[in-house]
Amino acid sequence: MKQTSQNETRATLLVSCKDRPGLVAALAQALYTQGSNILDADQHTDPKAGQFFQRIHFDDPELAGPDRDGATRRLEATIRGIASRYEMTWKLHFQAEPTRVALFASKTDHCLYDLLLRHRSGELTCNIPLIISNHELLRPVADHFGIPFHVFPVTAETKAEVEKAEIALLEESNIDLVVMARYMQILSGDFCDHFASRVINIHHSFLPAFAGGRPYHQAFGRGVKLVGATAHYATRDLDEGPIIAQDVIPVSHSDTPEDLVRRGRDVERRVLSRAVRAHLEHRIAVYDNKTVVF
């Protein structure tokens, strides 16, 4: 007899709507009626915005049955019914369908290596079918991990056409998430809109401080005692997208700009991997240019 994997029966539901009494009970009852077993549930209410958010991770044995497609349709219909009643925005993610991730990088390899190592060790559960760069320099990294490497040289004159080609490749590869692992190009508003809330960038400062280029040098010029990194969703507004994760490290008057760059790499790796993992585990709700991270 075939043994059922947990991946086959588990799913995650993210919902948001105007706050009102009875939402938690209604969602729990809907899943119970469907035959699902709630494994983990977390919720948040923003009283100022009057918004309710909930993440529910649950098990539905019917998803591993002979009629998985039918079970999926019944589950979606159940959720659609409760969502319609309470005017909910909702997303349903099945654990058996790992997120497909494209990594973008330029010449700096520390974030790229870190994500690939975490993926290989099983810490980041996803598929990585390709890496995109605007330089050839990191091809040996991709070759080492056996991942196809695509180079799209970018100039101001070719940027629009290059992005069209990149989007075509991403769509052809069914990419769900783009991760800018120190990809030193500014993505256009059209690109960000096409993958809204699906492009994660790592910025090497504690935003909103020191946005834009050379943030470590900006920080050195201000004599700050902390430097940090920020992972956020990329939007049309440079370095102003919804923040997912941040961290800082202490620095001193004796640190040079080069010291800040060197020391900052560690915090960049940690923050980016934390944000990517939160996205892969469907723990992020975006609203009003900010996030709830369960």
Q: Write out the catalytic residue numbers.
A: 239
Q: Which of 101, 116, 158 is nearest to 134 (CA)?
A: 158
Describe the crossing of helices 215-222 and 257-280 by its angle, rounded to 10 degrees.
Answer: 130
Whether 96 contacts 8, CB under 8 Å? yes
CA 211 to chain centre: 20
Report how far residue 116's alpha carbon sits from residue 36's, in angstroms, rounded to the nearest whole number: 34
- Element holding 55 (H helix, E strand): strand 51-59
- Residues near 56 by Cβ (< 8 Å), separated by ≥ 6? 12, 13, 15, 27, 31, 38, 40, 41
- Residues near 96 by Cβ (< 8 Å), separated by ≥ 6? 5, 7, 8, 10, 63
